[in-house]
Amino acid sequence: MIIDCHGHYTTAPKALEAWRNRQIAGLEDPSVAPRASELKISDDELRETIEQNQLRLMKERGSDLTIFSPRASFMAHHIGDFNASSTWAAICNELCYRVAQLFPDNFIGAAMLPQSPGVDPKTCVPELERCVKEYGFVGINLNPDPSGGHWKEPPLSDRHWYPIYEKMVEHDIPAMVHVSTSCNACFHTTGAHYLNADTTAFMQCLTSDLFKDFPTLKFVIPHGGGAVPYHWGRFRGLAQELKKPLLKDHLLNNIFFDTCVYHQPGIDLLTKVIPVDNVLFASEMIGAVRGIDPETGHYYDDTRRYIETANISAEDRFKIFEANARRVYPRLDAALKAKGL
């Protein structure tokens, strides 16, 4: 089975964006603010957006199951207050749940949290628990910078985040550390802010003893880990100077990297530098990089091709495609076993 651990509902019906625009307008003029019940999207509309997009590409490219979460750039936690984020997260998560219900063999949910700058993360716990208990979601997306590129929150190692970590451990779910839209002109959202955050999250964990407090906590750092694999020697050296254990003992029981790296040399580097047990297959298809690579004639985000071509064993390929995801996402593994898979 080929499990894609990084999918977003980037193709949701236009009614969702229209509702969000009304919600944003309502922050200035409450008289135009929509109620959640005013958003009407039929199952047929959901089917059409999925069948013509994600599911079509999954079939063409040969992947089986996608861990599916709301569109990352739409999370936009910097907009409005906690109440706005709470309503928006609930709507987006419900749509992903409905997609998973309509296509149970192909999609399973991961939750967006109703984060808001300066607000205690414990306010996210009810939505997290609803998605796990009622929707059967197998993970969450955690935004380390809900300010949108201004980095006003404490680092991920700070006790500020512990209410979320405690629930992650209790429910045995990992978090993909994933920022949202940048509202800082210095940082392009997908080309800079995302990769900055991937690298920053890793370094915040490296300089801390977070995993001593939470030995079973799991983070998936997307987009191949940002700069981390390319600068593995730098991080090893920094850990050594800080008198930390070797990275394999300090971080690699808890931190994993996906394969959203959109060229063969990048995947070759990732699989050579990072232990294969810490690499999970992902594509983030119909995401940040949607075009065709003129050097290969294939879509940049057709990442299965890169894994198939990488100089790794069949056993390692199986780990990347399936086994690692089942280990890092225990609730996914349980759901598959319940189906006899």
Q: Which of 288, 290, 281, 233 is nearest to 258 (CA)?
A: 281
Structure tokens at 236: 């090893």
- Beta-bridged to residue 69, according to DSSP, are 8
Nearest CA to 175 out of 188, 184, 163 is that of 163
The identity of residue 299, as a single letter, is Y
Please indicate whether residue 284 is annotated as part of the active site. Answer: yes
Tokens of 155: 């680092």
160: exposed, middle or buried (C-beta count within 10 Å: 0-12, 13-18, 19+)?
middle
CB 152 within 8 A of CB 144: no
- Give the neighbor-by-neighbor strand order of the sheet with 107-112: 3-9, 65-70, 107-112, 139-142, 175-177, 219-221, 255-258, 279-280
Q: How many CB atoms lie within 10 A of CB 277?
A: 17
β-partners of residue 142 are 177
Whose CA is closest to 290, among 26, 54, 28? 54
Q: CA triplet 95, 47, 75: central angle to 5 degrees?
A: 30
Q: How far apart are CA 24 and CA 32, in angstroms?
A: 9
Catalytic residue among 127, 153, 284, 322: 284
**Catalytic amino acids?**
284
